[in-house]
A and B are shown apart, each in its own frame.
Chain A
Amino acid sequence: MHRGDDTAKLEIAGISKTFETPGKPPVAALGAIDARIAPGEFVCLVGPSGCGKSTLFNIIAGLEQASSGAVLCDGSEVTGKTGVVGYQLQKDLLLPWRTVLDNIILGMELRNVPKREARAQVLPLLARYGLAGFENNYPSTLSGGMRQRAALMRTLLYDKDVILLDEPFGALDAQTRALMQEWLLSVWAESGKTILFITHDVEEALFLADRVWIMSARPGILKAQLDVPIARPRTQDTLVDPQFIALKRQVLTQIREESRRAFETR
């Protein structure tokens, strides 16, 4: 969990993105972004809306092409490759016609693991995700928190070392959200995964992360990186820790500046 060593799990090397539409001036969405994430690290990405956070995720996940630059995982280039990282969006994107269990095994199914085997493997794990007894329910019958846990379980069971989470708790109410954050931290601690997490919520970012990346207004670049040297495990008490509050003030100041710039150039 330290920066500066040469064993970056994920490296973003000079990634930029310009959207070209014929007949219109090109839109620069991402400036050149250089960043590294250590194995097992939890990094939160915050920034004003429209700064290209999701574009960056799409590029890392291989769903969108970068205009320049490269993505490296464990030192080898994976630019434009899908299936290298686990990726989850704000919407839980459970397939409504599949039961919870069959949604969770989707990733395994796509890797041609026989359905029966995948189900047997997943079933004992449901309790850890608070989904025991709901395996045969359809997503439409679950609460928002449960749906997110099912989606997260699908992402984690896809079993990639790096997980990208794009505002996964954005649509949840404050209570559920706080519980989900603590739960995510405990799952992460057990799994040893490397997580890159987008959020609008500075408090959420500081609560979860080892490190917070602050992005600028469009074209997005990494404006600042901030270590969060707060001891783990973190609890609700962490939120009123003076050190936490000082960090929060620092981040908020930077974000506000960028949000104003984004607002004024719109």
Chain B
Amino acid sequence: MPSKRGNADTVVVAGRIAVVVVVFGAWEGLVRAGVLPVFFFGQPSVIAAKAYAYLLDGSLLHNCWVTISETVIGFVAGMLLGSVLGLSMWFSRPAARIVEPFLVMFNATPKIALAPMLVLYLGITYWMKVALSFSVVVVIAWMVAYEGSRAVDSDLVRLLYSLSASRWQVFTKVVVPSCLSWIISSFRLCIGFSLTGAVVGEFISANAGLGWFINFSSSVYELNDVWVGLLSLMILATVLNLGVDRIERRLLAWRGAT
């Protein structure tokens, strides 16, 4: 239906396309005119041609797949274990208080600092990257689930007890679902961290993955290749975000449209 709103949307889309065209056009033009040295900046037309070639020979998709799978495995495993640990702290306040400062310390530490140790334990393997990505996510999920379990509406808990619920019933009917909304809300944050973990892991030592490809291309001054990797990473991150967004919206449908 053509409406003011529809027209406004068209303008926005056209504007976005214009931004892309102008930025890449100016970049290409400035390189061709010799203002920007291609050695340092790369050249859009060459980047596109290379990306196409890497798509055809399968190397680009392979690198994407390695990074995506590391990210997703680390994310899912970290989320699961972190949530279970955080939720279980609901059962014992004293135990939770004992663990809390260590959790806070661990959370404050950049998990990337674990990388050298992970290399030592797991070698320069695929699982080293998964482990790095996992270690970033697990602490956040743990923290979020713990905070969520402390923020459970005490009146809801009281209601359940007034209905003669057992402690386990309170946990499964109120604490878990109410924490889940916290945990799910942290998905978007965590998928980003998880990707960072995987890419940094590939920077450190790898023979596949977008992080490795970017790092390697940069070390041999192939700026066009660096851009291929970087732009692929941008697309990949966006796709992961959209996927997580969709999952979040579906799982939290009860919050209502507003």
Contact = CB atoms under 8 A, between A and B. Distances in A.
Interface of A: 61-63, 82-83, 87, 89, 91, 93, 95-98, 106-107, 109-111, 138, 140-141, 158
Interface string B12-46: 00000000000000000000000000000000000
Contact of A87 (B156, B162, B174, B254): B162
B181 interface: yes
B108 interface: no
A109 B159 CA distance: 14
Interface in B120-179: 153, 155-156, 158-165, 169, 173-174, 177-178
A251 to B, nearest CB: 29
B155 A96 contact: no
Contacts of A91: 155
Nearest to A89: B155
19 contacts: A62-B162, A63-B162, A82-B161, A82-B164, A83-B162, A89-B158, A89-B159, A93-B155, A95-B173, A97-B180, A98-B254, A106-B173, A110-B163, A110-B165, A110-B173, A138-B255, A138-B256, A140-B255, A140-B256
A97 B181 contact: yes
A87 B156 CA distance: 12
A83 B174 CA distance: 18
Given A95-B173, A96-B255, 4 more contacts: A61-B162, A110-B163, A110-B164, A111-B164
A110 B153 CA distance: 19
Interface string B231-258: 0000000000000000000000111101
Contacts of A87: 159, 162
Nearest to B170: A110
A155 to B, nearest CB: 9
Contact of A95 (B158, B162, B177, B255): B177
B156 A93 contact: yes
Nearest to A158: B163
Contacts of B258: 140
List the 3 closest pairs (A to B, CB-CB), nearest first: A83-B164, A140-B256, A138-B254
Contact of B163 (A83, A98, A140): A83
Nearest to B177: A97
B256 A141 contact: yes
Contacts of B180: 97
Nearest to A112: B169
A140 B255 CA distance: 7
Given A110-B169, A141-B256, A97 B162 contact: no
